[in-house]
Amino acid sequence: MKSIKKLHSIFKQQKGVALLMVMAVVTVMTALLVDFSFETKVNKIRNENMQDRFQARLNAQAGLTLGLARLRLYQEVFNFIQNNESLKKNVKQEMLNPIWNVPFIFPLPAPKEMDILQKTALEEFTKETIIEGEMRILIENASNKINLNLLRLSQEKLKSTTTSEGAESDPTEENTLQIEPLLIRRFTDIIEKKREQDDEEFELEYPDLNPKKLVSSLKYYVSDPETFQDEFTNEFQLEYESRGVSPKFAPLSSLSEISLISGWDEKLQELLLGNDYTVHGALMIDLNKISRNILKMIFPDILDDQIKEFFEYRDDPEEPHYFNTVKEFEDYIVGQAKIASKEDFDKRIEELQKAGINFGPVNTLFKVISTGSKNESTYTLEAFILIPAKPSTKKDNAKKKSKKEEEKKEVDEWGNEIEEEPEEDSPKDSPKESEKEPPLQLLRPRTLEIKVS
């Protein structure tokens, strides 16, 4: 009984309850404050990262614009030199390449040789610029790649080749007929070499790999459906129908589209195509950037030691040898290295030219890699830029001239042509001037493809 009264008296005492309530409220408020502070910091970091990402993207876009400007400058200088005979003889192509092939980095790096004044001036220049963050621009020559769209057959090609008797046929139709065996032969060599390595995984994954079928699948995908028919066509049609997709029946616009083609997975693309093919056209393949696989395609019987000697000769760091013409390339292949005879060399070059593959030192297809960064954010753009040649030939000019002359002819009332008397004072072009080929001129750079890397 006494214990119950004692407990009752203890419960009656309320001292210290307010302190407990305050401490509880403070604890809850502290937890809320910490959570609010954490969310605020996270949102702030997220917003800063978004701003950095946006700034990195702007830097990459600015770098791409600068790359286009450098290529435009290269085009203008090239055209100027081509129009000047004295400069054309003295200024070689290798002297023009630094206009575009020297990498650009911002902020500009300060070499160790710089003195204090130069470093200070460079720091002030960097501070005064409006660029925030970093920028790296690299322009690569992509003119050393084979265009897979040369396989394409179209109605236009067939119409152009269906000419009257005695008329000239369009050589574009011959491109497909020539490039197809080249690719089949090259793919066959790669597959046979892979099988010689006794790769069990490769044999299990690709037991019945057919190079002809692989090339045919590429050709079927890019050609007009009415123009292409071979032993594999029905099989391709059934496979695309089972997948519920339709072939493009048009030229490839990006190498990534090859993954959509029947029979071409990523492993085969890496093995057979590598970095030697493109879907963009070029004026010619640069002899000074030609790869091992392309060299093997030109001369299938070339030995590995000869390939090694070729690259050691061309890319010698102390004394590099630059091929300015196909003749210089021929002198090395035929005369110095004895890789092929004169007849074999001419035959191979002619065969490739009929396939639409020309060789020379002029760079017309470029890959611009622009990387912008700000703090931890990085954004990279890759673009393929083409500088096409001006489509003006002596043959076209002769056709235009004859057409204008026909339009100028007058007829009498009976419909007979009236012969005009030649003007005595009219100057006549010398035979040399009339036969002279016009200088090669490049048009403005145009963007073919841009992708985020």
Three-state secondary-structure class, residue 146: strand
Q: Taking residues 363-367, what's their average pLDDT?
A: 86
Which carries the bigger pLDDT value, residue 169 or residue 5? 5
218-268 confidence digits (pLDDT tens): 999 999 888 888 888 888 989 898 888 889 998 998 888 998 898 898 888
Asked whether the predicted pLDDT for residue 415 surpasses 60, the reply is no
Nearest to 442 by CA among 364, 379, 378, 365: 364
Contact criterion met (CB below 8 Å) for 371 and 103:
no
Q: Which of 383, 446, 441 is closest to 76 using CA atoms? A: 441
pLDDT for residue 14 is more than 70: no
| Cβ-contact 220, 228 below 8 angstroms | yes
Pick from 291, 369, 449: which is nearest to 100 by CA? 369
What's the mean pLDDT in 360-370? Answer: 85
- Coil vs helix vs strand at 278: strand
Q: Which two tokens stand for residue 36?
A: 């609010």
Reported confidence tier of residue 136, pLDDT bands at 50, 70, 90: very high
Q: Given a cut of 90, is residue 410 above it in pLDDT?
A: no
Q: Are strands 277-278 and 146-147 parallel, antiparallel or unpaired?
A: parallel
Task: Note the Cα 412 to chain centre separation in Å.
Answer: 59
Phi and psi at 277, nearest 5°, equal -130, 155
Percent of the chain with pLDDT strictly greater than 70: 79
Least confident of 80-94, 154-168, 340-354, 383-397: 154-168
Helix locations, 83-209, DSSP H: 85-90, 93-96, 98-101, 116-128, 155-161, 172-196, 200-205
User: According to DSSP H, which parts of 244-393 are helical?
Assistant: 266-268, 292-298, 304-314, 326-330, 342-354
383 against 1, higher pLDDT: 383
> Where does 197-232 have alpha helices with state H?
200-205, 211-222
Confidence grade of residue 113 (pLDDT, cut at 50, 70, 90): confident
Whole-prediction pTM: 0.70
In sequence order, the 6+-apart residues with CB closer than 8 A to the CB of 388 are 283, 364, 442, 443, 446
**pLDDT at 418 exceeding the cut of 70:** no
Write down the domain spans for the chain: 147-160+170-279
Distances from the Cα of 208 to the Cα of 64, 195, 196, 235, angstroms:
44, 12, 15, 15
DSSP sequence for 355-405: TT--EES---EEEEEEEEEETTEEEEEEEEEE-PBP---HHHHHHHHHHHH
Q: What is the pLDDT of residue 287?
A: 80
What gap in Å lies between CA 396 and CA 402, rounded to an integer?
A: 10
Neighbours of 329 (CB within 10 A): 21
Rg, the chain, Cα only: 34
Type and span of the H or E element at 135: strand 134-141
Q: Which long-range contacts (CB under 8 A, 24 or more apart) does 182-189 make?
A: 182/297, 182/351, 182/352, 182/355, 183/146, 183/151, 183/211, 183/215, 183/218, 184/211, 184/212, 184/215, 185/297, 185/300, 186/293, 186/296, 186/297, 187/211, 187/214, 187/215, 187/272, 189/296, 189/300
Q: What is the DSSP string of 53-108?
A: HHHHHHHHHHHHHHHHHHHHHHHHHHHHHHT-HHHHHHS-HHHHTHHHHS-EEESP
pLDDT exceeds 90 at position 66: yes
Q: Is the pLDDT of residue 452 over 80?
A: yes
- Distance in angstroms (rounded) separating the CA atoms of residues 409 and 415: 11
Q: Which two tokens stand for residue 422?
A: 């030649």
Most confident among 211-215, 286-290, 294-298, 394-398 (mean pLDDT): 211-215
State the DSSP code for 287: G
